[in-house]
Amino acid sequence: MSLFLHCFPAALVIAATAVAATAADETESKPRPNFVIVLADDLGYGDLGCYGHKTIHTPNLNRFAKEGLRLTNCYASAANCSPSRCGLLTGRTPYRVGIHNWIPMFSPMHVRKREITVSTFLRQAGYATCQVGKWHLNGRFNLTGQPQPSDHGFDHWFSTQNNALPTHHNPDNFVRNGKPVGKLEGFSAQLVVDEAMNWLSEKRDKEKPFFLYVCFHEPHEPIASDKKYSQRYPDSGQRSRYDPTTSSLAAHHGNITQMDDAFGRLMRGLDDLELSENTMVLFTSDNGPAITRAHPHGSAGPLRDKKGAVYEGGIRVPGIIRWPGHTKPGQVSDEPVCGVDLLPTLCAATNIPVPADRVLDGASFLPIFSGHRVQRTTPLYWQFNVAHSKPKVAMRIGDWKILATLTGPAIKPYGDIRPEDQQSIHIVELDQFELYNLREEIGEMTDRAASEPQRLQAMSAALKKKYREVCRESPIWPAWTMRGYEGQRIREFVESLRTTSP
C-alpha cells in the first residue's frame, strides 16, 4: 500500500464516502444551493483578527468566522495570483493548464476554451453566474484571440484584467460584459460590491440558483485606502508609496479594513434579499502576503516566507465557509483544503458529474462539514518554477510536506512566460528535497529529510511522478514563433518528452 493511502484509513474513506452520498441525496430534495466565492488579493494567513492579528480591524470577517467554519489548513492553488485563480476555477493544478506565472496584458498565457471551469458547469446546469472584480486569467483581456469571462461560464461580468488602474481609487479600466465602463468614482472594493449587489437584486434571473464570484483587489498594490479606514491606524513613519499623506502601515491595514467593510455589506445584502439560508459563502485569498519594500506590513502569521514561495507562507491562506444547515457556528477544521477542491466540491453539492476526460487535482471537501476527512486520490501539489524560495515544487500528504529544488539555473521572479523558460519547464528535474511535519511544526524550520529516510524515499518518488505528469501536460504557448524562435523544433522536442515513460 502506498504512503498516501496509509494516511487515509479504510474506515475514514468509507465514512467520507457515506457523508458525500448523504449530501448528494439531500440536494435532490431541497432547492439547489447558491454559491458565493469571495477572493482577496495578497491577503496573508495572519492578516485577519480571526487568524490572530492583534491590530487590523476586521469585524465583519471575524463575525463571519463565528457564524461558520474556519479552516486552519486552507491552501491557495498556487503561490501567486493568475495560477491560483486558474486552479480555483478549473480544479487542476495551474501548470497543467499552462498558467505558469502572473499574466500581464498581451501575454499569450490564458485559460484555454478547452478547460472546463466551475462556472461553465454551473451555467450549463441552469445557474445564473456573475464575476466581479479582478479576472487575471488572460493576456488579451477584452480583445479577440483569447477566451473572456463570458467564454468561461459567466452571464454577467464586471472585471479588470489585473489591477484597478491607475489606482484602486477612481479606476477607469473596468469592463462590463465586453464594454469599457470608463472612469468610476470610489474605491475598488466598494465598486465591486456595488456591482455584485446590483446583479443580485436587479439583473440576475431570480428563477435560477446563482454562482457569484467576487474578486477583491485588496490588499494588492497599488494600495488605495479611504481615509476613514487608514486613520484608524497609527502613523508608522514610513510613507505609503501610493499616498504620501499616509504611512505605509496605515495604508495597508486600512486597506484590509476597507475590504472587510465591503465584505460585510455583501453579507448584509444577502440577508436583506433573504438569500443567506440557502447560500454557501467561501472567503479566501489567492496567495500569501506580498511583503515588499512598498508593501511591508502583510502577515503570514507563524508561517514561513510569503507570496511567491512554496513554503507555507506563500500558499496557506485564510479560509472561512458559511453554509447554514451544513456548517456549524464557530466550527474549526484542521483538514487540508485547497483551491483546486472548489470545482469537485460544487459538483458534489449539486449532483453534477465531474469531468471524466481530464485529470482533476482536487477533491470534494463536503466531508469536513461533518468532521470527516477529504477523500483524496492524489496529494495536494504546488509548482512555481519562478518561486523566490529555493524549493520550487511541493506536495502535502497527511501531516507531511515535501519540497524540492530544480536542476539548472534559477529563473528570476518576473511576470509572463519567456520562450527559454518554457523549454526549461519541460526539461529540468527535481533535485534537493526538504521534509517537514506540519502538525508538529507549522513554521517549517526543522528539515526531517535526514531523519526520515524511508518517508523521504516514498514521498520523493510520489512527487517525481506527479511532477513529470504535470510537466508533460503543460502546453507550449505561441511566444516561440512570435519572438522569432524555432517554434516547431522546440515543440517537437517537448512532444518527445511527453511521450517518454515517466
Res 29: pLDDT: 61
Residue with cell 447554514: 324
Classify burial at 186, counting beta carbons within 10 Å of its beta carbon; exposed 0-12, middle 13-18, buried 19 or more: middle
Q: Chain centroid to CA 72: how far?
A: 15
The answer, yes or no, to whether the previous bond of 379 is cis (omega within 30 of 0) is no
Res 494: pLDDT: 47
Q: How many Cα neighbours within 13 Å face the side chain of 65?
A: 20
Q: State how far the Cα of 413 lies from the Cα of 394, in Å rounded to an integer.
A: 18
- The tens place of each residue's pLDDT in the chain, 502 residues long, gives 344 433 433 333 333 344 444 444 444 567 999 999 999 999 999 999 999 999 999 999 999 999 999 999 999 999 999 999 999 999 999 999 999 999 999 999 999 999 999 999 999 999 999 999 999 999 999 999 999 999 999 999 999 999 999 999 999 999 999 999 999 999 999 999 999 999 999 999 999 999 999 999 999 999 999 999 999 999 888 899 888 889 999 999 999 999 999 999 999 999 999 999 999 999 999 999 999 887 899 999 999 999 999 999 999 999 999 999 999 999 999 999 999 999 999 999 999 999 899 999 999 999 999 999 999 999 999 999 999 999 999 999 999 999 999 998 888 778 898 888 888 888 999 999 999 999 999 999 999 999 999 999 999 999 999 999 999 999 999 854 434 334 444 445 445 544 443 3
Contact 71, 282 (CB under 8 A): no
Contact 374, 335 (CB under 8 A): yes
Q: Computed from CA positions of residues 310, 316, 317, 322, in that sequence, does the dihedral angle turn out positive or negative?
A: positive
CA distance to 55, 148, 222, 233, per residue, from 236 (Å): 13, 42, 19, 9
Cα-based angle 250, 252, 253 (whole degrees, multiple of 5) = 65
Helix, strand counts (H, E) of the chain: 15, 16
Res 27: pLDDT: 43
Classify burial at 460, counting beta carbons within 10 Å of its beta carbon; exposed 0-12, middle 13-18, buried 19 or more: middle
Res 326: pLDDT: 98
Q: State how far the Cα of 26 lies from the Cα of 109, in Å rounded to an integer.
A: 40
Res 364: pLDDT: 98
The string of DSSP codes covering 309-350 is: -SSHHHHB--EEEE-BTTB-TTEEE-S-EEGGGHHHHHHHHH
Q: State how far the Cα of 97 lies from the Cα of 118, in Å rounded to an integer.
A: 15
- 95-100: list long-range contacts, CB under 8 Å, 24+ apart: 95/383, 95/425, 95/470, 95/471, 95/474, 96/359, 96/361, 96/470, 96/473, 96/474, 97/474, 97/475, 98/474, 98/475, 98/477, 99/137, 100/385, 100/386, 100/417, 100/421, 100/425, 100/474
Q: State how far the Cα of 466 lies from the Cα of 374, in Å rounded to an integer.
A: 19
The string of DSSP codes covering 121-164 is: HHHHTT-EEEEEEE--SBSSTTSTTS--GGGGT-SEEEEESSS-
Q: State how far the Cα of 180 lies from the Cα of 182, in Å rounded to an integer.
A: 6
Res 497: pLDDT: 47
